Amino acid sequence: MSIVIGGMIGLGKTSVADTLNAHFQKRGIESKVFYEAVDNNPILPLYYELTPEELDARRIPFLLQLFFLNKRFKTVKDCINWGEPIYTIQDRSIYEDWYFAYVNKNLGRISELEFKIYEELVENMMEELNELPKKAPDLMVYLKGSFDTVIERIMARGRSFEINPELKEYYFEVWKGYDDWVINQYNASEVLIIDMDNTDVVKRPEDAARVCREVDEKLDEILNLTKAHIG
């Protein structure tokens, strides 16, 4: 089974991925987490720290989207290579990369020409993946939360390049359309929505257990539908 953890910056994708990984392994299911390239990303701090004029001059937003897209493409291939019966868990999906590029285009951080090139590259990559078995995930676990929760969680984790008050407008622009994109445009897999306003898998073990239970139930539902379709 292939699972992706989606959602707004700061809502806890890595913590949920680690929680599910531990849960599966406790059940005797081999699993592996593929983390988002943040700590070893040379472009990300620049994206948050440079002035708008510097970002534009150096085309940092476009470079960042290409960086993430390349890493995500590699992750999809790695997940396929691991194969069944291993459960793979991706910290954000290649599909969400397009949404971030789209927001940056709307903000004027990525030009229309850059976005066109980006979309053509995505299309070529997806055509390449179509030649491989099982490219799409089985389930997206989507972490949904209010904007207040997003800001609170970003501040709490304390990554220096993320806590500039001037970034609040950018976070809001990403946040305000995320739910609509997932609910109305994302169609690569089934979606399980987790309300992060009322969930903390790190501090509340009962929340972690609930999330794991809901994921198990959703995966069982997907497996049953698959068997029925085959039958």
Beta bridge mates, 34? 90
Sheet holding 2-7, edge to edge: 31-34, 87-91, 2-7, 139-144, 190-195
Q: At 61, is the secondary structure helix, strand, or coil? A: helix
Cβ 171 vs Cβ 107: under 8 Å = no
Closest CA to 173 of 102, 94, 115: 102
Closest CA to 141 of 62, 214, 33, 67: 214
Q: Cα–Cα distance between 156 and 174 in angstroms, integer?
A: 19
Assigned token pair, 63: 């470079």
Kindly name the residue from 18, 91, 97, 138 that is annotated as catalytic: 91
Is 180 marked active-site? no
Q: What are phi and psi of 113, to 5 degrees?
A: -65, -45
Closest CA to 226 of 130, 141, 136, 142: 136
* Residues recognised as catalytic: 91
